[in-house]
Structure 1
């Protein structure tokens, strides 16, 4: 009888052990601790502009590679890739043609345009129409229009154009930001130490503008 009871006990223990193994779930995956922050994926960016977006280096790619373009200051952890179309001397018409030859699909479009239109007498309504066409072609849910940099020879006209650019952005639901406040005097001209020729910034001026844009877009 004792042998029978012992055998029954062993069987019950085995069954209980098997039942526990059967009900055990899979190994838990790693979880984020409460309160821990999760960094969002970097946003892709497409920049459109002229020499003040190339860093006065000819093309956007050259300015990015040299680190002179203001967009080179956008931190990769928050913005990647950062691409664009910008050429020294480009008007908004040239920018429009350059962008329309491409097929950008990005999270953020950033446009700084109009200095060379002022210099060549292009009407403001044409500048606004070209900006609208650029934004319509680039597949981007967010559009940021940047104020043009100071222009010593046409300071009043540059100030007026920036007001028009702000109005265009507001009317279309775009963002508008002036990254040049630290380089612009109350009269709309360059702070002397911030420019090399009354049109273009120093390397430090471009860096400051890029940092300002990054901060405006919420980069850490």
Structure 2
């Protein structure tokens, strides 16, 4: 079984993230080959990145960063539930990405975006970032935008995700199928060759 972490990428009190995050969590749990749980950035009191360097080069000193890295190390891949902030990702997500490095390397990353245009611009920025972290970006993604977003958003009808499931579930299934393929391939390769970088 692949251990997949589903990362909620916002921490605002009024965030929408729980709805799509729990929706994709249920899909992932029902998918063969996946053991999934949520990773809520609200549960990690991460400071702004202030280390001497990324943990690729030197161990992190702040205990909160180390706790975050230890959490990430348990997973074989990640699904990022992404909001779009001014055509990019949230600052808290960028900071969380920067607070680790070794724990991201050679693992797959998949994306569920939501907002007016389904967070497509934010997801595209995030693909660039995870590429630099040496992750494998999964092509298939779920974009909850336009009328579908307004059906489930508190700014619209605030209905249950089941209202749009028929529309977005096929993409979720494609995403999860690819996530398992890449997750298994990369896990096998990591176990065969060992980590690319070794901690001192």
Q: TM-score, normalised by structure 1?
A: 0.48
Counterpart position of 1:214: 176
> How far apart are 1:114 and its partner, in Å?
4.5
Counterpart position of 2:40: 86
Could you list the runs of 5+ residues in structure 1 that have no partner in the other structure?
Answer: 1-41, 64-68, 184-188
Counterpart position of 2:12: none
Q: TM-score, normalised by structure 2?
A: 0.51
Superposition misfits of 4+ residues, deviation over 4 angstroms: 50-53, 98-102, 121-128, 137-141, 198-201, 205-209
CA distance in 2, matches of 1:83, 1:191: 28
Could you list the runs of 5+ residues in structure 2 that have no partner in the other structure?
Answer: 10-14, 48-63, 182-200
**Map 1:149-188 → 2, pairs under 5 A:** 149=114, 151-152=115-116, 155=117, 158-177=119-138, 178-180=140-142, 183=144
Query: Residue 80 of structure 2 contacts residue 112 of structure 2 at CA under 8 Å; is this kept in 1?
Result: yes
Counterpart position of 1:112: 80
RMSD between aligned residues: 4.3
Greater Rg, structure 1 or structure 2? 1
How many residue pairs were aligned?
Answer: 149
**Map 1:43-192 → 2, pairs under 5 A:** 43-50=2-9, 54-55=18-19, 63=22, 69-74=23-28, 75=30, 77-80=32-35, 82-86=36-40, 97=46, 100=65, 101=67, 103-104=70-71, 105-115=73-83, 118=85, 126=91, 129-133=94-98, 135-136=100-101, 138=103, 141-149=106-114, 151-152=115-116, 155=117, 158-177=119-138, 178-180=140-142, 183=144, 189-192=145-148
